[in-house]
Amino acid sequence: MVTNRTFTMLKPDAVEKGNIGAILDKISASGFKIIALKLTQMTTNDAKTFYAIHKERPFYGELVDYMTRGPIVAAILEKDNAVEDFRTLIGATNPADAAEGTIRKLFADSISENAVHGSDSNENAAIEGAFHFAGREIF
């Protein structure tokens, strides 16, 4: 199991607001190496599968609609302790609770439209990275 990789998406709100460059810059400046990167759009089926763990939650339908309404940027990132350090960099799920200087504090509007995804475990980082990227797209 690779333990120095995580997976991220810059969500549709971040892309709509023109924040791709600023967020990628912050990710790079924080010591993460981008080893896979693409602009893509999830289908409804993709989003349902990606977020299947939340399917019983009341916000599941809203989450699927949000995540499919426009393009996202998907990326695999490499750094020592990547999963935990990236969760620290993005901040709490609700930007109102996110620490100063975190990506969600800087770029997110609400608990639902919160600018970025970050994997929550090494296992999910591998699953989520493989969901979006073929082996030859990972460098």
Site track 58-87 with ligand IDP (rule: CB under 6 A), x = hit? -x--xx------------------------
Q: Given phi > 0 = left and psi -120 to 50 = alpha, else beta, which region is 6? A: beta
Among candidate residues 75, 117, 125, 133, the one labeled active-site is 117
The interface with Mg ion within residues 62-121 (CB under 5 A) comprises: 120
107 vs 17: CA distance, rounded Å: 9
Span from 20-28, 33-41, 56-64, 68-76 in contact with ligand IDP (CB under 6 A): 56-64
Residue 117 annotated as catalytic: yes
CA dihedral 33, 36, 42, 46 (to 10 degrees): -100
Minimum CB distance to ligand IDP, residue 120 (Å)? 5
Q: Is position 117 an interface residue for ligand IDP (rule: CB under 6 A)?
A: yes
Nearer Cβ to ligand IDP (41/112): 112
Q: Is position 139 an interface residue for ligand IDP (rule: CB under 6 A)?
A: no
Q: Just list the catalytic residues.
A: 117
Query: In the complex, which residues of this chain contact Mg ion (CB under 5 A)?
Result: 120
